[in-house]
Amino acid sequence: MSLSLVIGHLSLVIGHLSLVICHWSLVICYLSFVICHWSFVICCLGFDLPISQSPNLPISLSTLSPLSPLSPLSLYLP
């Protein structure tokens, strides 16, 4: 094998590894965003306070069904 083929092969391997690392970094970033988003939603809902104690909130956590538009399950169901 010529030196240029070896260098080309090594650069392809390094490029592939860079893409794999970038992909998993994006996956971890996305999961962090999802956790942060739902933590914020739960925090904004007022930890299931009754509506009389939180008049600015339209719903409480007890009124969320698993298939509610605000439910994390609804993101994965058609």
Average pLDDT score, the chain: 74
| pLDDT of residue 14 exceeding 80 | yes
- Alpha-carbon distance 30 to 42, whole Å? 18
Q: Which range of residues forms the domain containing residue 15?
A: 3-75
Residue 44 is predicted with a pLDDT of 79
Radius of gyration of the chain (CA): 23
Domains identified in the chain, total number: 1
Residue 70 is predicted with a pLDDT of 52
Answering whether pTM is above 0.85, one says no
Residues with Cβ within 8 Å of 50's Cβ and at least 6 positions away in sequence, in order, are: 60
Greater model confidence, 55 or 32 = 32
| pLDDT of residue 29 exceeding 80 | yes
